[in-house]
Structure 1
Amino acid sequence: MDEHQEREIARGLRGGNPDAWRALYDAHAERVWRAVARLMGPSATDVADVVQETFLAAARSAAAFDPDRGTLWMWLWGIARVRIALHYRQEAQRDRLLRAGADHPHRRPGETRDALADGELNALVRATLTELPADYETLLTAKYMDGDSVETIASRERATAGAVRSKLARARQAFRDTFGKRTAGRPARTEP
């Protein structure tokens, strides 16, 4: 989508034009879905909820969209990141409440503690990624979830491989710091 199309859609969104909404959705829905799914994991229901909440929030705030501050994609992705973080906060609150009255709310008959712990670890990693600056989250996701090489990332970002490695080091440190804060006070995983 070129800059002219972006501005036309933005003008239509601010004016409440249904065609602008269709154009926005057609241009970005799949990309929003994929990006949200990368951070949230395999639960299609949760991903669908967050994507829907993203577009609803975009509808509520369309009049405030300013194309001079960024692209439609960056605006939508910013909304989606807030919705993902909110999802994890609500999920953590639900888990705390449920754990107060049950051994473990997500355990199914025959499910091992290791599988349960792995699922919790995956959720913690995804939640941690949502708390990082967007460029760090994007970089770490590309490298470690999508399996992109440093050279591929450098080409896409129009940067040198050395610059990407340096930024990756800072992103990993930010992840470690944030993950450490999230897991502080949690019991260590023990083997049976």
Structure 2
Amino acid sequence: MDENQARTVVRGLREGHTHAWQSLYDCYAPRVWHGVARLLGSQSADIGDVVQESLMAAARSIRTYDESKGTLWVWLWGITRLQVSLHFRKCQQQARLNRPEWLAASQGRLARWLEGNDSLAPDLLESAELQQLVRTVLIELPDDYAELLIAKYLEDEPILVIAERERTTETAVRSKLARAREAFRGIFKKLTGETMTDAEACHEHT
């Protein structure tokens, strides 16, 4: 969708035209679906609900869109990230109860990964609960950090492929990955109120 088409859609939504809603859906729903699936996990049964809520929220708040602050997609993706965050928050009470057990089950591997001393083995995220914890942290990260961590560790993309797509060097990607892990660690600590090694140590002494 080019700028002129975006303006037409925005104007139509503000005037309550059904065809404008359909145009928004046709153009952006697949992209929103893909983004939500990356954040929730492709097997999540909630992807469709979050996508629908995101598009409906966008339609309701279309008057807040200001093209001087970014494209229609940037605005829509911001709303989508908020909807994903709200989805995770619905599960927070149970998540808080189980986090020590999830962390202990990782046997220190999640902590070693965040310190840059280990790779994120696929079996580490076999637990649906631990996946949810990791993805809850990812949604709080800046877009570029979250996208990079998802690509490298959840989708297993090689550094070279990421560098080529981002039109940068492998060294630059590795450096950014280290910064992204550091940001992940900080948000993780804020959300859980403890470090992973603390949780594991408590488990070892119980």
> What TM bracket, shorter-length normalisation?
0.7 to 0.9
1:4 is displaced (CA, Å) by 2.6
Provide the rounded CA distance (Å) in 1 between the counterparts of 2:61 and 2:129.
33
CA contact (8 A) 2:95 2:133 kept: no
1:26 is displaced (CA, Å) by 0.6
1:131 paired residue number: 140
1:128 is displaced (CA, Å) by 0.4
Higher mean displacement: 151-160 or 63-72? 151-160
Provide the rounded CA distance (Å) in 2 between the counterparts of 1:156 and 1:15.
39
Provide the rounded CA distance (Å) in 2 between the counterparts of 1:154 and 1:5.
32
Q: Does 1:173 align with 2:173?
A: no
1:31 is displaced (CA, Å) by 1.4
Provide the rounded CA distance (Å) in 2 between the counterparts of 1:17 and 1:163.
46
Q: Which runs of 5+ in 2 are unaligned?
A: 99-104, 107-123
Counterpart mapping for 1:43-54 below 5 A: 43-44=44-45, 46-54=46-54
Higher mean displacement: 182-191 or 68-77? 182-191
Paired AA for residue 137 in structure 1? A
Provide the rounded CA distance (Å) in 1 between the counterparts of 2:169 and 2:49.
37
2:65 paired residue number: 65
2:18 paired residue number: 18
Provide the rounded CA distance (Å) in 2 between the counterparts of 1:69 and 1:163.
28
RMSD: 2.8
2:156 paired residue number: 147
1:166 is displaced (CA, Å) by 2.3
Change (3 A) 1:7 1:165: farther
CA contact (8 A) 1:58 1:76 kept: yes
2:101 paired residue number: none
1:109 paired residue number: none
The TM-score with structure 2 as length reference comes to 0.73
Change (3 A) 1:63 1:148: same
Change (3 A) 1:136 1:3: same
1:187 is displaced (CA, Å) by 4.3
Aligned length: 176
Provide the rounded CA distance (Å) in 1 between the counterparts of 2:37 and 2:157.
17
Paired AA for residue 44 in structure 2? S
1:62 is displaced (CA, Å) by 0.6
1:28 paired residue number: 28
Paired AA for residue 62 in structure 1? I
Q: Deviations over 1:26-58 (max 9, x none)?
A: 1111111121112112222x2122111111110
Provide the rounded CA distance (Å) in 2 between the counterparts of 1:82 and 1:95.
19
Paired AA for residue 130 in structure 1? I
Identity rate of aligned residues, in percent?
53
CA contact (8 A) 2:159 2:173 kept: yes
Provide the rounded CA distance (Å) in 2 between the counterparts of 1:11 and 1:149.
43
The TM-score with structure 1 as length reference comes to 0.77
Provide the rounded CA distance (Å) in 2 between the counterparts of 1:20 and 1:148.
37
SS at match of 1:85: helix
2:84 paired residue number: 84
